[in-house]
Structure 1
Amino acid sequence: MYFKSVYKNYVLIGLLLILSQTGLMAQKLNIQSPNKKIKVALLKEQTGADKWFLRVYYGDTEKKEEVIPRIDLGLSRSDQDFADQLKFIKAGNPVLVTENYSAIHGKKSINTNAANEVVVSFQNPSKSKLNIIIRAYNDGVAFRYQFPESGGNFVVKDELTAYTVPPQNKRWLQKWNPANEGLYTAMEGAKNTVHQEWCYPALFNSETEKSWFLLHEAGLDETYCGTKLSDALDTTKYKLTFPNPQDGAGQGEVLPKITLPWKSPWRVIVMGSLADIVSSTLVDDVSPPSAITDTSWIKPGAVSWNYWSNNHGTKDFKVVTDFADLAARMDWPYTLLDWEWDAMGNGGNLEDAAKYILAKGVKPLLWYNSGGKHTYVPATPKDRMLTHENRVQEFTKLKKMGFVGVKIDFFESEKQDMIKYYLDILKDAADFEMMVYFHGCIVPRGWTKTYPNLMTYEAVRGAEWYNNGPELTATAPSHNATLPFTRNVVGAMDYTPVTFTNSQYPHTTSYGHELALSVLFESGLQHFADRPSGYDELPDAPKSFLKTVPVSWDDTKLLDGYPGKEVIIARRKGSAWYIGGINGESRTEKTKKISLSFLPQGTKYKLLLIADGPHDKAFFTRRLLVDSASTVDVRLLRRGGFAASLIPLEN
C-alpha cells in the first residue's frame, strides 16, 4: 500500500538559492538539503564555452567538504546537441517536495521522499529547450534532464553525464557484465587501477574518509535504456554510457528513442556516512508511486529452493515434494520449482506437484526462461513470457493451478527494448496477482516502489556461484561483507543465502556467518538454498531462528562495519529487532562490543544470541535480558558471524 502527498512551498527553510551575475562567467546556483548537510552548486565553465556542471559538498558545518568536484552535464540528440553553448534562461521557484509512502517489503516500511528542488532552464544556439531538475536530499542528490517542448521523435546519441572523482578516493567497483554478477574490487585510489566499464552501484570514500557516496540511477522506464559507468576514455571521470551492441545476443537498438516531452531517469548520488548509505531508500524515493491499487495479495516470505543442492532437482517429483515438506516444516510460505519442471518425472508432473505443495499449506512459485533471441540459453519453456498474449495465457493457467509467482531468467541486456520487456511483465503479472522475481537481470532501479509485486532481483554473485567454480569459496567472506554497502543498498537482492552443507564447491564461511546472512541480506522473497538435511540437522536455536526471521523490515540501521572487512546491521519488524553480523576477514578473529542504544528506552528485551562456537561448524547460544543501556560482547571467528533476536519482554 502506498499513500502520497506532494506539497510545494515557495518559502523554504533550509534551501539556499543564489543566482548572481557579476558577468556571464559568474552565474551560480546553490541548493541545500533540508538538513543543510548537502549542497549542490550549478556552475559554468570559465572558458567561454557555456558548459555547465554540478559540484557536490557534504558536511555538518558551513565549511563543507567538496566531495564531487564536477559532474558534467548534457545530452546529444540526433537533431542537435545540448552541452556546449547552453544559455541560462531561468531558475524556477524553489519547491519542497514531500511524498510519504509505505512499502510492503524492503529495508523500511514507512518512507518519506523529501527534498529541495529547483528546475533550471537552458536553451541551445538553435533556441531548443533543456531543463535540468536538481534535488538535494538529506541522504543524497538526484538530478535528471527534461526536454519540455512537445512534438518530435528523436534518438539520444549520447549522454554526457560524467562524475569526476578525486584520484585519492577509495572505491569499490564491479566490472561491467550484463548479469551484474561480478565481484567488487576494492581500490585505494585511481592510480594504477584498471580503467573500463563498471556496473552500478559504485561506492566511493572521500580522501578525508568523512563522506561516502554511491552512484546509481532510478526511475528508469521504457523511454530510455539502462546506463553504466566508464572511465575507459578519461581516467579522471566516470561517464554514463549506453549498453554495448553485443549485449542481449546483439538484439535491440543501443541508442534510445524518445518522444517529446521527455524526462530522463534520475541520476542518483546516495551520500553521507556509511550508516546513511546502508539505511537510504533514495533509489525508491525518487521513483514513481505504486501503479497497483490493491496490494493485499503481495506477501513477502521465505522460500525453499532445490537448485543449489541439486541442479536438476525440479526434474524429479520426489525432490520437489521433499522441498515442499521442508518449507512446511520450517513454516516458510513458498517453494520454488526451478528449470526443467516441464520434464518432471519420477512419480508426478507439474500439476501433481502443485497439488502436493498446496496440500502442505505451501504456495508454489515457478521458473521461466525469458525467451527470445536475446538469450542463447535453450532451457525450456523459453517463450511463454515473451509476448503479452503468451503471458496472459500462461498466467491464466498458473492462477488456476495455484501458483502465486514467477521467476524469470536470462535477460542479458539493458537496452531500451529490454527495459520495456521487464515493465510489461510486471504490468501483466499484476493483472493476474502474480509476484515476480527477476534472475540474470538488471540491478534495481526503483521499480519495486511502482510495481510492488516485484519481490526481488538476482543481479549479484550469490550462493549459486558455489556451483560454477572454486572462486567464491575464497572470496565469499569479503564479498558478503561488501554487498550490504553496495548492491543491497539499492534494492532487494536474492543471494540465495544461508547454506550449511556444501554444493559442488565448498564454502569456508562459518555456520554463524551463514545464519547472519538471513538478516544482513534483504530480499522480499528470501530463497534459503540448502538441502533439507542442512536445516533439519541444525540445533534448535538456529532452526527456530530461521523459522521466524522476517524477510521484510520496518527499519534498518548499520551498527558497525567497513566494506569487505565486517558488517553488523540491526533490522526491526514490529517491536522486535534482529541483528546480523559477519567477519569478512579470513585471518583475524574479532570480538565486537555491540551497543544496544538503538533500542527504545524503558523497554526490556529478551536477547537470543547465536554466535560462532569453538569451530566454524558449531554455534554458541546465549540468552540475556537487555535494554538500551546494554552492550554485548560477541566473538567472531575468522570468516565468522552471528545472528540475534531482541523480543520485547511484554511479548
Structure 2
Amino acid sequence: MKNLLLMVCSLVFGFYQMTAQNFDIKSPDGRIQLKVTHSDKISWSVSLNGNLIIEKAEAGMDFSSNTDFGYDPKIKSHAIKSASQNIHAVISRKDSDIKDEYTELSITYKGNYKINFRAYNDGVAYQFMDEAKAVRNIISEKVSFTFPKGSRSLFPQEESMYSHNERLYLDKSLTDIQSKHFCSLPVMFTTDKAKVLFTETALHDYPGLFLKGTGSTTLDAQFPKYVLEAVDKDGRSDRVQTITKEADYIAKTSGDRAYPWRVFIISDDDRTFVESNLSYQLAKPNVLQNTDWIKPGKVAWDWYNDNNIFGVDFKAGLNTETYKYFIDFAAMNKIEYVILDEGWTKSTTQILDFNPAMDVKELIRYGKEKGVGIILWVLWKPLDANLLPILQAYKSWGAKGIKIDYMQRNDQYMVTSYEQIARECAKLEMLVDFHGAFKPSGLERMYPNVMNYEGVLGNENNKWSDEITPEHTVTIPFIRMVAGPMDFTPGAMINKEHKNFSISFTRPMSMGTRAHQVAMYVVYEAPLQMMCESPSIYYKEQETVDFITQIPTVWDETKVLQGSVGNYIVVARKKAEKWYIGGMTDADARELPIDLSFLGDGSFSMEVFADGINVDKYAEDYKKEIIEVNKNAKVTAKMASGGGWSAIITKKQ
C-alpha cells in the first residue's frame, strides 16, 4: 500500500512537473490567448476568440560558444504580471498618449538567458534577453511559425537581401511560397478567422529579419550574414557595393543585452492594423533630454518634379535661382522645409563641396530669412566614411537635417550605422530622414529626431513605372505603415485615370484622382511630409495647396472609421481642437458612411475636398464645399474609381 501511494505521488509530481513547463497568458481584454510549451524546444501558439491563429511557433538562438537559447531549455523560474501605463510620444505620429497595457510572461532558463512574452489587446510579442556577458558570435536565430491550412499572405517578395525594401504586396497562398522565396518586413498573413501582421522592433546592433517560405504553411526567418568585405561596384561606386565576403555568422555580441522584439499584430478587424502602436510601444524609450528643437512639418521637394519650374526669367535646374524659387514658394505657403536633393554637391562623393551653380550657404541663409529650413540629401557610403566632420560641417552651415539615401542593407553593421547617424545628428540638433532604407524598427522612438523612413514603393516610382496603383496605395497603410512612418512623398498634381496614365521621368503623373493624393496627407503618417510637385504647378493649383497646408504632420489621436486591406480606408485624426478625415479607395468607386460621433457636442464647420463630377474623364476634377455638421450628422464619403475624400472639421464658436 505504501509503495502504491509513493507511486501515485510520484506520478502526480511527474505530471505536475510536465504541466509546469507549459504556460498560458491572455490579453487584458481576454480575446487573445498565448500558450508556451517546452520540450526540447521553446514553442508557442496563439488563439483569437478561441480560434487558433498561429498553430505552432518556435524560438531559439544558436551561438558559437556557451549556451544556445531554446534548445533543450531548462527552466529556473517564471513570473506572470499585468501592466498598464501611459506612454507620451515625443513626436506623435499617430497618438500623443498611448495606453500600454499587457500581460507578460517572463521565463528564466539555466544558461543565463530568459524570454519575455507579452499579450496585448492587438497582438503578441516576444524577446530574448542575454545575461551571459560572453563575447561570441550569433550563428543563427530560430524564428518559425505555422498558420492553419488555407492561409495566405500579402507577401513583399524580395530578390535579394541587398535591397531598398520597396516592394509590391503579392497575394499568395502560403503553400506557393517556396524556400527560394523570401520577403522583407512587415508582412501580412490571412487565416479564415483573422489577419496577422509580423514585424520587428527594438532592432539594435543586430541584423534585420527576412522571412522565407517552405512550400507549406510554415515560414522561417533568414538573416543577412555579417559582412566581412564589400567592394565598390563599377559604374555606381558612390552608392552600390558588391558584398564579396561574408562570415558564417549573422552578428557579433558581448552578451548582457536585449534582442529585438518579434511582433505579431492580430485582429479580425482590418482597422486595428492602422490604429496599432505596438511597434512603437515595444521600442526603446526616448534617450534625448531636450527635444524642443525637433520640429515636424511639410517639405517642398525637388527630385520628383525634376526641378521643373516655369514662367520664370532664368533657366530652371540645379542652381541657386531655382532653389530660391522653391524657398519663396515654401515661405508663401508656410511650408517648414525645402530639401536640396541629389545635385547640390560637387559630386555624389564630394559632399563637402558645392555644385558650382549652387551657393548652398546663401540658400540656407535665405531660407532662414524666410523662415524655411534646409535639409540636405546625402549618400550613405561617403557619409559613413567621414561621418562626424561632414555632419559638423552641415550644422555649421545652418542645415536643419539630412536625408540619407542608398543604405539598401540590413546587416549588423548597417543597423548599427543607422543608430550612430541618429545619435550624432541628435547631438547636433539635426533631423534625419532615412531614404533607401529598411522599415522603421523602433529607432524613431529612441531618437525622435528620426522623422521618416522610406522602405516603401512610393510616388517617385511614377517616374519609371505604372506600379503605384490605387490598390497599392490603399494596401500600404495596413502593412508598411504599421511598422512606422513612411516617406511615400505624396502631393502629385498631374493626376490621371488608369487608362490615361503614362510614364514620364521629367513630368511624372500619379494614378488616381486629385482627391486621392490630397487624402494621403491625412492617411499617411510622416512627420516630415513631402510635397512632391513642382512649385510652378502648385501656384496654378493654389486652392489645393491651401487645403493641404492646413493638414498637420503629427497627431494627438487617430481613429480608423472604415478599413479593408487593399480596398479602402477612412481615417480620422485629431490635432489640437480640429479633426481631419482622409478617405481613399482602390479602382472601385465607393460611397462610405462617415460616423461623426467622435466630435462631441456642438456645431462644427466641415471643409470638404472631394472628387468632382467629371473625375472619371479628368482625374484632376475636384469639388470643395463647406457644410455644417454635428456628431449626429449623416455624411457620406463619395469616391470615384481611384478616388479620395478629405475633410477639415472646426468647432464653431
Query: TM-score scaled to structure 2, two decimals?
Result: 0.86
Q: Give 1:358 deviation, angstroms.
A: 2.1
Whole-Å Cα distance in 1 between the matches of residues 197 and 36 of structure 2?
20
CA distance in 2, matches of 1:441, 1:280: 22
How far is 1:629 from its partner? 1.2
Q: Where do 1:81-120 residues align within 5 Å?
A: 81-96=68-83, 98=85, 100-120=87-107
Tell me what 1:190 maps to.
174
TM-superposed CA distance for 1:499, in Å, is 0.3
- 5+ residue gaps, structure 2: 1-12, 231-240, 309-315, 347-353, 496-503
Aligned equivalents of 2:153, 2:337: Cα separation in 1? 38
The question of whether the paired residues in 1 share the 8 Å contact of 2:307 and 2:318 is answered with no
Assess if the C-alpha contact under 8 Å between 2:494 and 2:620 holds in 1: no
Any conservation in 2 of the 1:21–1:27 contact (CA below 8 Å)? no
Is structure 2 residue 48 aligned with structure 1 residue 58?
yes
Tell me, yes or no, if the aligned pair for 2:344 and 2:358 is still in contact at 8 Å. no
Contact 2:493 / 2:509 at 8 angstroms: preserved in 1? Answer: no
Query: Which of 558, 574, 589 does residue 560 from structure 2 map onto?
Result: 558
Rounded to whole Å, the distance in 1 between the matches of 2:472 and 2:595 is: 25
Contact 1:97 1:117 in 2 (8 A): no
Contact between 1:91 and 1:118, CA under 8 Å: does it hold in 2? yes
Deviations, residues 236-294 of structure 1 (Å, cap 9, x unaligned): 22212111678963177561111122321111111222222111111111111111100
Tell whether the 8 Å contact from 1:409 to 1:441 is kept in structure 2 after alignment: yes
Q: Which residue identity is paired with 1:351?
A: K
Q: 2:60 aligns with which of 74, 78, 82?
A: 74
Contact 1:301 1:524 in 2 (8 A): yes
Q: Give the corresponding residue for 1:204.
A: 189
Compute the displacement of 1:227 (Å): 1.1
- The answer to whether residue 493 in structure 2 is matched with residue 500 in structure 1 is yes
Asked whether the equivalents of residues 226 and 251 of structure 2 are also in contact (C-alpha less than 8 Å), the reply is no
> Secondary structure of the equivalent of 1:92?
strand
Which residue type is aligned with residue 454 of structure 1?
Answer: V
Paired position in structure 2 for 1:237: 218
Instruction: Give, as a single letter, the amino acid of the residue that structure 1 aligns with 2:363.
Output: A
Instruction: Find the aligned partners of 2:156 and 2:578 in 1 and give their Cα distance.
Output: 35
Alignment of 1:234-273 (within 5 A): 235-243=216-224, 249-250=242-243, 253=247, 255-272=250-267, 273=269
Instruction: Give the corresponding residue for 1:29.
Output: 23
How far the C-alpha of 1:603 sits from its partner, in A, is 2.6
Residue pair 1:55, 1:70 contacting (<8 A) in 2 also: yes
Say if 1:95 and 1:581 are closer, same or farther in 2 by CA, change over 3 A. Answer: closer
Please state if 1:596 is matched with 2:596. Answer: yes
Contact 1:40 1:136 (8 Å CA) reproduced:
yes
In 1: Cα distance, 2:80 partner to 2:195 partner? 30
Identity score, percent = 27
* 2:500 corresponds to: none
2:498 equivalent in structure 1: none
Q: CA deviation at 1:161?
A: 1.4
Return the offset for 1:421: 0.8
Residue 639 of structure 1 is aligned with which of 638, 642, 652? Answer: 642
2:382 maps to 1:360: no
Which stretch shifts more, 344-353 or 546-555?
344-353
CA contact (8 A) 2:56 2:145 kept: yes
CA distance in 2, matches of 1:39, 1:303: 44
Paired residues, number: 593
1:581 matches 2:583 = yes
Q: Give yes or no for the alignment of 1:328 onto 2:331.
A: yes
Match of 1:44 in 2: 38
Contact 2:514 2:620 in 1 (8 A): yes
Partner of 1:626: 629
Which moved further from structure 2: 310-319 or 404-413?
310-319
2:312: which partner in 1? Answer: none
Say which of 331, 349, 359 aligns to 1:349. Answer: 359
Cα deviation 1:208-251 (Å, max 9, x = unaligned): 3xx322101110111x21111111x4532221211167896317
Distance 2:534 2:446 in 1: 35
TM-score (norm 1): 0.87
Whole-angstrom CA distance in 1 between matches of 2:401 and 2:99: 29
**1:242 to 1:486, Cα distance in 2 relative to 1, 3 A:** same
Q: 1:483 aligns with which of 461, 476, 485?
A: 476
Is contact 1:442-1:459 (8 Å) kept? yes
> In the alignment, residue 69 of structure 1 is paired with which amino acid?
E
Q: CA deviation at 1:395?
A: 2.8
Task: Supply the AA of the counterpart residue of 2:380.
Answer: S
1:282 equivalent in structure 2: 278
* Counterpart Cα distance in 2 of 1:409 and 1:303: 17
Q: For the residues of structure 2 that align with 1:256 and 1:348, how far apart are their CA atoms?
A: 43
Name which of structure 1's ranges 362-371 and 311-320 shifts more when overlaid on structure 2.
311-320
For the pair 1:214 / 2:204, whether they are aligned, the reply is no
> In structure 2, do the counterparts of structure 1 residues 310 and 324 end up closer, same or farther at CA, with 3 Å as the change threshold?
same
User: Residue 97 and residue 146 in structure 1: after superposition, are their counterparts in 2 closer, same or farther (change >3 A)?
Assistant: farther
> What is the distance in 1 between the residues matched to 2:356 and 2:645?
40
User: CA 1:437–1:72 in 2, change beyond 3 Å: closer, same or farther?
Assistant: same
Q: Which residue of 2 aligns with 1:386?
A: 384
Moved more, 273-282 or 485-494: 273-282
Corresponding residue for residue 612 of structure 1 = 611
Describe the superposition over 1:340-370 as per-residue Cα deviations: whole angstroms up to 9, x where unpaired.
1024668642122222222222111101111
Q: Which of the residues 289, 294, 306 maps onto 1:310?
A: 306
Report deviation, 1:451. 0.1
SS in 2 for 1:220: coil
| Aligned counterparts of 2:226 and 2:33: Cα–Cα separation in 1 | 38
Q: Is the 8 A contact 2:226 2:412 kept in 1?
A: no
Deviation digits for residues 433-489 of structure 1 (CA, Å, limit 9, x no counterpart): 00111110110001111000001011111111112x2332xx421110001101111
Q: Is the 8 A contact 2:177 2:216 kept in 1?
A: no
- Which range is displaced more, 163-172 or 570-579? 163-172
After superposition, the Cα gap between the structure-2 partners of 1:219 and 1:348, relative to the gap in structure 1 and judged at 3 Å, is closer
How far, CA to CA, are the matches of 1:207 and 1:201 in structure 2?
20
- Structure 1 CA distance, aligned partners of 2:41 and 2:358? 67
Distance of 2:320 and 2:554 partners within structure 1? 31
Counterpart CA distance in 1 for 2:34 and 2:608 is 44
Query: C-alpha offsets along residues 291-344 of structure 1, whole Å, 9 cap, x if unaligned?
Result: 110000000000001100117987222221221122112210100001110246
For 1:228, the equivalent position in structure 2 comes to 210
Amino acid at match of 2:442: G
2:363 is paired with a residue of what secondary structure? helix
